[in-house]
Amino acid sequence: MLKKKDKYIVAVVGATGAVGKEMVTVLEERNFPVEKLRLFASERSEGKIINFHQRGVTVEILTEKVFDGIDIALFSAGGDRSLQYAPIAAKAGCVVIDNSSAWRMDPATPLVVPEVNPQDLKWHKGIIANPNCSTIQMVVALKPIHDAAKIKRVVVTTFQSVSGTGSKAMDELFHQTADILNFRDVKPVVYPHQIAFNCLPQIDKFMDDGYTKEEIKMVNETKKIMNDDSIRVTATTVRVPVFRAHSESINIETEKKITANEVRALLSKAPGIIVYDAPEKGVYPLPVFAAGKDEVYVGRIREDHTIDNGINMWIAADNLRKGAALNAVQIAE
Ligand code: A2P
């Protein structure tokens, strides 16, 4: 367990990646009490300089020996690195906040969204898992409704931006868009098909039952974060040609009746949420608007007339911030 201090030695593992860079920005913006920042990546990035509070911090190569003296390590360098290095870091006395899926479903590792289950931070043993980006923004919006009316079932379809796959995927969307507009052929590398001007109903690998791993993550992680195995979740996850911020269409069935106005009132008071819902004025959550913001935007709130107790809504949030870096820093706070 980490001792309370005025300032902490903080590491970002995967500091040159899309999420890692955002972690450094969020630590700076929130004025996290950092005594010293250490940045790690692969040998490809050794010696690169990243700015933190107007000072250059040099990127170091990640090895098993680097964790001595580090208080908190934010990991976002892929699941294999987390599997290998997080236990070593924890053994060296460091609290790891891991953005990969490596430890999320481990029964000994809490999976935390601070607005939803902060109480689970108490039982960590050195590793705390940061949930999947699509799951984080969904549970922030579900929790107040679950507390008020008990959610029985959720049907969610996601519209996920390419930054969720990392910086190479952002480059792929950029270059494919330019290639298509210049009548050149495109060659998919990161994604199985062209992502520019397209939608891919596949995120991660397919499992035997036809669902993708991303869809299964949304099902299992929601139950774990909400501490309720009875919530039934079914998901279809789709990659769309958006650089930043994921959107989701969510259909909810509750045990108790709750009206659209009651949902609007509840969510307006809930932490981390902005209700953005005046469709007659063209006001509803958009990924271009949610990008760079901290909150989960919720709109298009309406009753589902096909069932007794149903709500439909549309949400958007920045997957690199609330979906990853911000949630990790909030856990550290
Ligand atoms: P590097 O830039 O040196 O490859 P993204 O998700 O945007 O692709 O970023 C992945 C992050 O994980 C990058 O910072 C990357 O560093 C880092 N990373 C990838 N492989 C390794 C490795 N073997 N050791 C340390 N860091 C790694």
Ligand 1 centroid vs 24 CA: distance in angstroms? 15
Residue 37 CA to residue 284 CA, distance in Å, equals 38
Q: What is the mean pLDDT of the chain?
A: 98
What pLDDT does 1 receive? 74
What pLDDT does 3 receive? 86
Ligand 1 centroid vs 306 CA: distance in angstroms? 47
User: Which ligand 1 atom is at minimum distance from the Cα of 18?
Assistant: 7
The radius of gyration of the chain from alpha carbons, rounded to an integer in Å, stands at: 20
Ligand 1 centroid vs 170 CA: distance in angstroms? 15
> What end-to-end distance do the CA atoms of the chain give, in Å?
14
Beta carbon of 44 within 6 Å of any ligand 1 atom? yes
Q: Which of 13, 23, 25, 42 maximizes ligand 1 atoms within 8 Å of its Cβ, making it the mutation to test the pocket?
A: 42
Catalytic residues: 133, 246
Can you list the domains of the chain with their CATH numbers? 8-102 (3.40.50.720), 135-319 (3.30.360.10)
Q: Nearest C-alpha to atom 2 of ligand 1 is from which residue?
A: 16
Beta carbon of 78 within 6 Å of any ligand 1 atom? yes
User: Which ligand 1 atom is at minimum distance from the Cα of 59?
Assistant: 3
What pLDDT does 329 receive? 98
* Angle at CA of residue 183, ends 181 and 186, nearest 5°: 90
| H or E element at residue 255 | none
Asked whether the predicted pLDDT for residue 235 surpasses 80, the reply is: yes
Residue 290 CA to residue 247 CA, distance in Å, equals 9
Ligand 1 centroid vs 291 CA: distance in angstroms? 23
Q: Are 240 and 159 in contact (CB under 8 A)?
A: yes
3-class DSSP assignment, residue 278: strand
Contacts of 247 (CB under 8 A, 6+ apart): 158, 159, 240, 285, 286, 287, 290, 314, 315, 316
Q: Nearest C-alpha to atom 16 of ligand 1 is from which residue?
A: 41
Q: Nearest C-alpha to atom 14 of ligand 1 is from which residue?
A: 14
Give per-residue pLDDT as tens, 197-215: 999 999 999 999 999 999 9
Asked whether the predicted pLDDT for residue 161 surpasses 90, the reply is: yes
Average pLDDT of the segment spanning 211-239: 98
User: Which ligand 1 atom is at minimum distance from the Cα of 168?
Assistant: 8
What pLDDT does 2 receive? 84
**Alpha helix ranges (H) inside 32-93:** 79-91
What pLDDT does 230 receive? 98
* CB-neighbour burial class of residue 143 (10 A; exposed 0-12, middle 13-18, buried 19+): buried
Place of tokens 């949420």: 273
Q: Are strands 232-239 and 8-13 parallel, antiparallel or unpaired?
A: unpaired
Asked whether the predicted pLDDT for residue 116 surpasses 90, the reply is: yes
233 φ, ψ (degrees, to nearest 5) = -125, 135
Give per-residue pLDDT as tens, 3-62: 899 999 999 999 999 999 999 999 999 999 999 999 999 999 999 999 999 999 999 999
Average pLDDT of the segment spanning 279-303: 98
Nearest CA to 322 out of 250, 245, 269 is that of 245
User: Which ligand 1 atom is at minimum distance from the Cα of 46?
Assistant: 3
3-class DSSP assignment, residue 291: coil
Residue 314 CA to residue 239 CA, distance in Å, equals 16
Give per-residue pLDDT as tens, 70-90: 999 999 999 999 999 999 999
Give per-residue pLDDT as tens, 163-193: 999 999 999 999 999 999 999 999 999 999 9
Asked whether the predicted pLDDT for residue 121 surpasses 80, the reply is: yes
- Work out the widest C-alpha separation in the chain, in whole angstroms: 60
Ligand 1 centroid vs 74 CA: distance in angstroms? 13
Beta carbon of 77 within 6 Å of any ligand 1 atom? yes
Residue 314 CA to residue 298 CA, distance in Å, equals 6
